[in-house]
Amino acid sequence: MSVVLNESLHTSSTRGMVLMEDGRTRPEIWAIGRREPSKEALDRFIEIYLDILTENERKGKELAMKAEKDRESSDS
C-alpha cells in the first residue's frame, strides 16, 4: 500500500555510480522532488498508525480476558 495519494507529491530516488579514488565504484542514491512528506501523506500515516494502535489495544484486552478465564477455570 502506498501512503502517498498523489504520485506527483512523492519523492523519487535516483541511483548512479560514483568513481572512488581507488578506482572502485560505489552506488550513490539521491532524492528528487519533495524532501518532506505532503500533508495528505502525513494524515494517511497518522490514520493508519491509529488503526494499528486501536487493533493492538483490542487484541491486548482479548488476551487479558482469555487469560483471566483460563485462570478461573484452573482454580475450579
What CA dihedral angle connects 24, 26, 18 and 14, to 10 degrees? 160
CA distances from 65 to 41, 54, 62, 71 (A): 36, 17, 5, 10
pLDDT at 2: 44
pLDDT at 32: 62
Q: How far is CA 44 from the centre of its chain?
A: 11
Give pLDDT tens digits for 8-59: 444 455 566 677 778 777 777 666 666 677 888 889 999 999 999 999 999 9
The x, y and z cell numbers of residue 56, run together, are 493492538
Q: What is the pTM of this model?
A: 0.47
